[in-house]
A and B are shown apart, each in its own frame.
Chain A
């Protein structure tokens, strides 16, 4: 494996991972807000 492959996979996984964490965190926060009102 060369440095270009490592760079491409590293950036891709970082971007997908960050998005997944962001979506999950926003969903968890919204569910917590909903529990306050129901």
Chain B
């Protein structure tokens, strides 16, 4: 079973079957979520129209955290089981995670202006989120720093695992320190502190971001697997032609 999971053919076949569904359902959810968030949901009695930024800011932030957690897990599995596919999964989702972190930071800054009166504050949540963005960038730079691709993947994997310390800091920074950022309204043990009218479009947008992130991550994984296959075929062809010349 585990051997099957580690085989590229299993993933290539699975991605081809699943990806059209992820794109179709994710795209539909995004369309419904956008109409609901921008046209049907009411403005907030305190924040007014600016509350609508929540419907892109929260899904992007959750996506960025979830993807980094997933990357730490796949890197750990890659080291424990000596499976390159785990490293490739990490690399495939890094670009998606970095984009979501960028969206979270930009939309957070835009939301901060009408609500807090400032684009940026060096508070614990914002700073730890910025650190997450640097971790994603650092991972991408580290991959390119090595001539040997596999060495780069392993070095990146170590960075991802070390950086995972930042994930609980981001999650609980609003509880551990006095921050300008509000505490958790949804992901908490008590009842969600958000009205039902805002919950519908928010959940729809979260599902849309989740499905579209998976679609893009799997597309990247398929590309990486195919590129490795093409490289192997190219080397084989070169050695065959050299052997023919020598003969």
Contact = CB atoms under 8 A, between A and B. Distances in A.
B102 A15 contact: yes
Contact of A33 (B102, B106, B110, B226): B226
B222 interface: yes
B18 interface: no
Interface string B211-223: 0100110011011
Interface residues of B, number: 35
A8 B56 CA distance: 8
A27 B222 contact: yes
Contacts of A20: 212, 215-216
A28 to B, nearest CB: 9
B230 interface: yes
A34 B229 contact: yes
Secondary structure of the A contact surface, majority rule:
helix
B87 interface: no
Contacts of A15: 99, 102-103, 106
A8 B111 contact: yes
Contacts of B222: 27, 30
B104 to A, nearest CB: 9
Nearest to A31: B226
Interface string A3-20: 011011101100110011
Given A11-B106, A30-B226, A34-B229, A4 B220 contact: no
Nearest to A5: B52
B223 A4 contact: no
B50 A16 contact: no
A21 B23 CA distance: 13
Interface of B: 34, 38, 48-50, 52-53, 56-57, 60, 95-96, 99, 102-103, 106-107, 110-111, 113-114, 212, 215-216, 219-220, 222-223, 226-227, 229-230, 233-234, 237
Interface of A: 1-2, 4-5, 7-9, 11-12, 15-16, 19-20, 22-24, 26-27, 30-31, 33-34, 37-38
Given A2-B50, A26-B219, 11 more contacts: A4-B110, A4-B111, A8-B53, A9-B53, A11-B103, A11-B107, A19-B96, A27-B219, A34-B230, A37-B230, A37-B237
